[in-house]
Amino acid sequence: MHARLNRFTSRPAGGRISPTRAGILAAIALSGLSAGLAAGVAQAATPATCPAAPLSTPFAAWGDNNSYSLVPGGNFEGPLSGWIVPTVVRRVAVSKTEPGYARVGAWSLELPAGAVVQTPPVCVSSTENTFRFFARGLSTGATVTAQVIYGSDPGQKSSLTGTWEPSSIFHTGPALSQALQTKGTVMVALRITATSGTARIDDLYQDPRMKK
């Protein structure tokens, strides 16, 4: 039995689900979809160049002056078209009084321990080899892992604090780097897992569209 997945939900459907059971159900559902999704991403039509997108420097206050482009739906302010979001994952309001709040937008995603979300396929070129987002832990020892759905990426873990801060910089990995040696661009997805504890994530970016 697979957990019911949808593009977006503000509360669990069909009543409350315990974080442990929800995490197991989400993992089962995503593992069942994983092979097909990875194949779909890999087989997606690959453009000659990635589409242009607005650039910003959202992490400059933390010493990261790279230009980033927002992953589609990555600010969680509107419909999450193409995202895979289990019903246990909630969209929650972010108050400007929350610790570390320094961003535009009112919404984030809350992932209980074990919960997994996945982006739609995004275009990556040889100059776009990292992802980064804002995150906050709601419990001591909270961590998230980001995994690029391409090749055999084991994922990279980022430890969270109780304050909104940039995550670790997640690299796309050697398999994708090798593919980009012969291809101009590759379509990939990013999977984020609340490895331990409850986490909130917001403003998911890829770096960069263009470097100066």
For 146-178, the pLDDT digits (tens) are 998 887 788 899 999 999 999 999 988 888 888
The pLDDT of 126-152, averaged and rounded, is 90
- Give the mean pLDDT of the chain: 79
What confidence category does residue 75 fall into, taking pLDDT thresholds of 50, 70 and 90? Answer: very high
Residues 133, 204 contacting (CB under 8 angstroms)? yes
Domains parsed from the chain with CATH numbers:
5-207 (2.60.120.260)
Task: Supply the pTM of this predicted model.
Answer: 0.77
**Once rounded to an integer, what is the mean pLDDT over residues 137-143?**
94
Is the pLDDT at 30 greater than 60, yes or no? Answer: no
The answer on pLDDT for 114 being more than 50 is yes
Confidence of residue 14 (pLDDT cuts 50, 70, 90): very low
**pLDDT at site 151:** 77
